[in-house]
Amino acid sequence: MSRRAIAGTGLAAVLLCGALAAMPAVAGGGTGSHGLSAFGERKYGPDFKHFEFVNPDAPKGGRLSQIGPAGRITFDSFNAFILRGDPAQGLDLLFDSLMVRATDEPDAVYGLLARSAAVAPDRRSVTFELRPEARFSDGSPVTAEDVAFSFDTLKAKGHPQYRIAMRDVVRAEVEGDHRVRYDFKGENLRDLPLIVATLPVLSKAYYATRNFEETTLEPPLGSGPYLISEFKQGSFTTFKRRDEYWARDLPVNRGRYNFDEVRFEYFRDRTAQLENLKAGSYDLREEFTSKDWATGYNVPQVKEGRLALLTLPDDSPSGAQGFFINTRRAKFSDPRVRKALDYAFDYEWTNSNLFYSLYKRTASYFENSDLKAAGKPSAEELALLEPYRAQLPPEVFEEPYVPPVSDGSGADRRLLRTAAQLLTQAGWELKGDRRVNKAGEVLDIEFLIYEPTFERVLGPYVKNLQALGIHTAIRRVDPAQYERRVKGFDFDIVTQRYVMRLTPGVELFNFFGSDAAGTDGSFNLAGIKSPVVDALAAKVLEARSRQELVTATRALDRVLRAGHYWVPHWYKASHNIAHWNKFSRPQVKPKYDRGIVDTWWFDAEKAAKL
C-alpha cells in the first residue's frame, strides 16, 4: 500500500530531475555540450541515435487508458504551474523543456528544445542554443523570448516549488532569437543549470491574453508531443498524439510516445478503480493496495491471460512514506511525543495481517539507496556533524534511529510502555483515561484522509493511541478540502510519500527547509525548522563528487531521523502493474522509471486475440 507521491511525477518532476557538478565549463559563446550530467558522467555521446531503453522501430497507434501513477481521484484545472486547484494528470505531455532526462542514468539530461548548453568557467551562468525548428502546437516558433518569459513567470507567479528551486537564479537574458543565458548567484551552483534546463517552456504570446495565475479548463498551448483532445472534469482527460510534433525524430524522442491517445481515468476510490479495470473500462493501473494485489486479481480474465499482472523492478530510492506529524502545533513540539507515536504503531502486525508480508519497513528518508545512513557516523560524516553537536541529540552520533520491532501482536505491551514513558517525560500525564499537560489540555490527534482505503491501517493504530490516553480520531474529507487543508498545513497528521532523487539537490529545502515550513503549498509537511538541517542540505548541494554527496546526505538522514518528524511506513522496490494484454514494451526497461507511457506501444496482434 502506498499513497499519492508528491514529487517525481508530472510537472513537479521538472524541478527535481537532476543535479550538476563537473560538467564542461565552456565560455558563453562556445560550442557547448549536447547534454548535462552530475559529476561529469554521461552515458550517451553527441552522436547517439536513441536511448537504450526504447524500441526505435516501435509502431505508432492505439490508445492507452490508465489510472495515473499519482493516483488522483479528481481534477479541476489544466494549470499545473500554480498553487490553486487540483491539476489533471498527464499535463507534462503538453510541454517541452530545453533538455530532457535519460531515465537510465541517475541525473543526466540531453537536448530537446536546446541543441546545446554551455556553462561559464566560473559556473555562474549557462547559455542554451535553441533549435530554430522548434514549434508550439499552433505552429508558432519557440524562441528565447518564450524561455525567458517562462522563467520570469514561474518564479514570480508559479507554485512555491518554483520559487524555492530558483531562488539563486538571477535572470534569464535573451541574447538572440535562439540563444538565452541564465545568470546565477550564491555558492550552491551545482543544480542551477540543470534546474533551468528542465523547466517547462511556455508561450509568451499565449499568456499575453490569459491570466497565468487562474485555474482553467482551457487546454493550454505547449510544444510537446500531445494535445488535450477531450475531457470531462473529474472523470477523464484524453491526450492525442501530434502527428506534426516538431521533435518526433530527435534522438531523445525516437521510439517514444507511441500511443495515438493517452487517457487518464478518475474514479472515486481504489475499489472502483479495480472493478472498472476488471470490467474493461480502461487498460492499466499500478496496484498500490497489497491486499488487492494478493487476492483481488483471482479472476478469469487473469487466469485466461487476457488481463496481465506484471512486476517491474524499481532501482530508484523507494521514497519517504509515512505519517507526517505537524510540528507547527504545540502539542507535537517535543520530539519525545513524536517518538511515542512511532512506538505505538505496530508495523509487524500491519504487514502480516493487512499487507500479506509484501513490504519492508522504512527507516530512512533515502530508503533503498546508498544515501541511507547506517552504522555509526564515518569520519567524513563526523566532520560535518561535529560543529553542531551542541544543537543535536546524542543519538545522532550513534547508530541511526530505526523504528522499533514489535512482537506482531498488534498491541506490544513492551513498546506501549515505552511510549507511555516518553509521553510522561514530555509532560503529558495520564489522568483517568486521558493524557493532559500542566495547563489541563488534553492530548488529541486527528488523522486527515480523503479516501476510505487507509482506514483499515489506521484502525488498529488508533486503538493503541487511545490505550495510551491520546484522544484520537480519523477525519475523512473530500479531495478538494483535503488538498486545501494540506496546502495550508491545517492538519495534525497526514499520510504522504516523497519521491527522492538519486542525486538530491535543491528540492531538499522544499521538503525539509526552514523557509518552506512557513510557505503554503510547500512539501515540508512536518514543519521542520532546523538550522542544522538547512546547513546539511546546503552541504548536499555543495558536493563536488558522488562520495561527498553520499556523505552529506547520510549525515542529513541521521539528523532527520533523530528528529522523529514522522512515523515511517513501508516500501517495496518494484511496481505492480495490471493491464489488459494488448501492449508490448522494449526489452530494456529504463532503470529509474516505469517507462509505460513513453516507451510501450499498442500491439495490434495481441489486441486482436482479446
| pLDDT tens digit sequence for 166-219 | 999 999 999 999 999 999 998 878 889 999 999 999 999 999 999 999 999 999
Cα–Cα dist 102/35, whole Å = 10
Residues in the chain: 610
Q: Are residues 378 and 519 in the same domain?
A: yes
Residue 311 lies inside a defined structural domain of this protein = no
Residue 242 lies in a domain: no
pLDDT of res. 2:
36
Residue 406 lies in a domain: yes
- pLDDT value, residue 7: 35
Rg over alpha carbons for the chain, rounded to the nearest Å, is 24
The pLDDT-based confidence of 31 (bands split at 50, 70, 90) is: low
Q: 493-498 and 444-449 as β-strands: parallel, antiparallel, unpaired?
A: parallel
Q: What is the mean pLDDT of residues 529-538?
A: 97
Q: What is the pLDDT of residue 298?
A: 95
Cα 452 from Cα 492, distance rounded (Å): 18
Q: What is the CATH number of the domain that holds 516?
A: 3.10.105.10
Q: Look at residue 161 in the predicted model and tell me its pLDDT.
A: 87
Cell numbers given for 597:
507511457
What pLDDT was estimated at residue 18? 34
Distance CA 226, CA 506 (A): 30
Task: Based on the fold, state whether residues 327 and 205 are members of the same structural domain.
Answer: no
Which band of pLDDT confidence, cut at 50, 70 and 90, is reported for residue 453? confident
Amino acid 67 reads I
| Mean pLDDT, rounded, of the chain | 92
pLDDT band at 70 (very low <50, low <70, confident <90, very high): low
Domain boundary among 571, 586, 601: 571
pLDDT of residue 452: 87
Please provide the distance, in angstroms rounded to a whole number, between the alpha carbons at the two ends of the chain: 30
Measured in whole angstroms, how far is the alpha carbon of residue 350 from the centre of its chain? 25
Do the domain assignments include residue 109? yes
Whole-number Å distance between alpha carbons of 140 and 136: 5
CA distances from 264 to 83, 311, 458 (A): 21, 21, 29
Q: Domain check: are 348 and 218 in the same one?
A: no
pLDDT band at 38 (very low <50, low <70, confident <90, very high): confident
Q: What HEC string does 190-247 produce?
A: CCHHHHHHCCECCCHHHHCCCCCCCCCCCCCCCCCCEEEEEEECCCEEEEEECCCCCC
Quick one: pLDDT at residue 11? 39
pLDDT at res. 501: 84
Decide: 234 and 266 in contact? Cβ < 8 Å. Answer: yes
Average pLDDT, integer, range 376-403: 98
CB count in 10 Å sphere of residue 314: 19
What is the structure's pLDDT at 30?
A: 44
**Region 310-320: what's the mean pLDDT?**
87
Q: What does DSSP assign to residue 135?
A: B
pLDDT tens per residue, range 483-527: 999 999 999 999 998 888 888 988 899 999 999 999 999 999 999
Q: Is 219 found in the same domain as 324?
A: no
Cα 188 to Cα 278, 281, 535, 539, distances in angstroms: 50, 49, 12, 9
Q: Could you give the 3-state DSSP secondary structure of residue 349?
A: helix
What is the pLDDT averaged over residues 575-592?
96
Split into its structural domains, the chain has a count of 2
Residue 162: which domain range?
10-59+70-224
- Of 3-12, 100-109, 121-130, least confident by mean pLDDT is 3-12
The reported pLDDT for the residue numbered 73 is: 79
pLDDT at residue 24 is higher than 50? no
* pLDDT in the model for residue 413: 97
Give yes or no for a contact between 60 and 256, defined as CB atoms under 8 angstroms apart. Answer: no
**Is residue 502 domain-resident?**
yes
Q: What is the pTM of this model?
A: 0.80
Rounded Cα distance, 100 and 14, in Å: 9
Q: Which residue has the higher pLDDT, 235 or 187?
A: 235
Mean pLDDT of 424-452: 96
Interval 229-233 mean pLDDT? 96
Do 415 and 536 lie in one domain? The reply is: yes
**Does residue 17 have a pLDDT over 80?**
no
Is residue 328 located within the same domain as residue 214? no
Same domain assignment for residues 185 and 328 = no
> How many whole angstroms separate alpha carbon 275 and alpha carbon 301?
12
Last residue of a domain, one of 173, 207, 224: 224
Residues 528 and 385 in one domain: yes
Cβ pair 593, 56 in contact under 8 A: no
* pLDDT beyond 90 at 296: yes
Does residue 8 surpass a pLDDT of 60? no
Domain closes at, from 224, 256, 284 = 224
Reading the block at residue 77, the C-alpha cell is 484545472
* pLDDT score, position 29: 39
Is residue 400 within 8 A of residue 558, CB to CB? The reply is yes
Q: What percent of the chain has pLDDT over 90?
A: 82
In whole angstroms, how far apart are CA 69 and each of 5, 65, 182, 307? Answer: 8, 12, 33, 19
pLDDT of 342 strictly over 90: yes
* 600 domain-assigned: no
pLDDT at 49: 98
Given a cut of 60, whether residue 600 has pLDDT beyond it is yes
CA atoms within 13 A on the CB side of 461: 25
| C-alpha cell read off for 388 | 553542531
CATH number (domain holding residue 76) = 3.40.190.10
pLDDT of 5 > 90? The answer is no
Contacts of 454 (CB under 8 A, 6+ apart): 1, 3, 495
Segment 535-558 mean pLDDT: 95
pLDDT value, residue 6: 36
Has residue 292 been placed in a domain?
no
- Burial label for 306, CB within 10 Å (0-12, 13-18, 19+), is middle
Given this model, what pLDDT does residue 118 score? 95
Give the three cell numbers for residue 580.
489488459
Residue 264: is its pLDDT beyond 50? yes
Instruction: Work out the average pLDDT over 453-479.
Output: 95
Question: Is 531 among the domain residues?
Answer: yes
Whole-number pLDDT of residue 1: 40
